[in-house]
Amino acid sequence: MIAPGFADVEAQIWMWMMAMIRPGAAMVVTPVFGAANVPVQIRIILAFMIGMVATNSASFDLPADTAISLGNFIFVLGEVLVGVAIGFSLQLGYSSVVIAGETISNAMGLGFASMSDPQTGQSTPVIGQFLTILATLLLLAIDGHLMLLAVIVESYSALPPGYAFLGAELAWGIVKFGGTLFSMGLLIALPVGGALILIQLIMGFLARTAPALNLFAVGIPVTISAGLVMLAITAPIMADTIILSLGMGLDQAALISGGK
Q: Please report the DSSP string for 15-64 in residue order.
A: HHHHHTHHHHHHHHHSTTTT-TTS-HHHHHHHHHHHHHHHHHHS-----S
Question: How far apart, in whole angstroms, are the C-alpha atoms of residue 86 and residue 26?
Answer: 6
**Which of helix, strand or coil describes residue 121?**
coil
Quickly state the pLDDT bin for 119 (edges 50, 70, 90): low
User: Which of the residue ranges 18-22, 143-147, 238-242, 246-250 would you say has the lowest mean pLDDT?
Assistant: 18-22
> Which is nearest to 242 in space by CA: 111, 141, 151, 171?
141
pLDDT in the model for residue 112: 64
For the chain, first and last CA: distance in Å?
Answer: 49
Question: How far apart, in whole angstroms, are the C-alpha atoms of residue 63 and residue 204?
Answer: 69
CA geometry: angle 208, 209, 210, nearest 5 deg: 95
pLDDT of 113 over the 70 cut:
no
Question: How far apart, in whole angstroms, are the C-alpha atoms of residue 162 and residue 225?
Answer: 57
Question: How far apart, in whole angstroms, are the C-alpha atoms of residue 98 and residue 188?
Answer: 10
In one letter, which amino acid is 202?
Answer: I
For residues 181-192, give the mean pLDDT: 85
For residues 201-219, give the mean pLDDT: 73
pLDDT of 3 over the 50 cut:
no
Whether 125 contacts 113, CB under 8 Å: yes
For residues 162-186, give the mean pLDDT: 79
Whether 86 contacts 47, CB under 8 Å: no
DSSP 260: -
Question: How far apart, in whole angstroms, are the C-alpha atoms of residue 7 and residue 231?
Answer: 61
Whether 19 contacts 52, CB under 8 Å: yes
CB atoms within 10 A of CB 89: 29
pLDDT, tens digit, 9 for 90 and up, residues 123-159? 677 787 888 888 889 998 988 888 888 888 888 887 7
pTM: 0.79
pLDDT, tens digit, 9 for 90 and up, residues 28-70? 888 888 877 788 888 888 888 888 887 777 666 666 665 666 7
Whether 151 contacts 257, CB under 8 Å: yes
Q: Considering the chain, what percentage of its residues have pLDDT values greater than 90?
A: 1
The mean pLDDT of the chain is: 79
Question: How far apart, in whole angstroms, are the C-alpha atoms of residue 19 and residue 172?
Answer: 26
pLDDT in the model for residue 26: 87
CA dihedral 119, 120, 125, 129 (to 10 degrees): -10
CB atoms within 10 A of CB 258: 14
Whether 170 contacts 89, CB under 8 Å: no
Q: Based on the number of CB atoms within 10 Å of its own CB, is 177 exposed (0-12), middle (13-18) or buried (19 or more)? A: buried
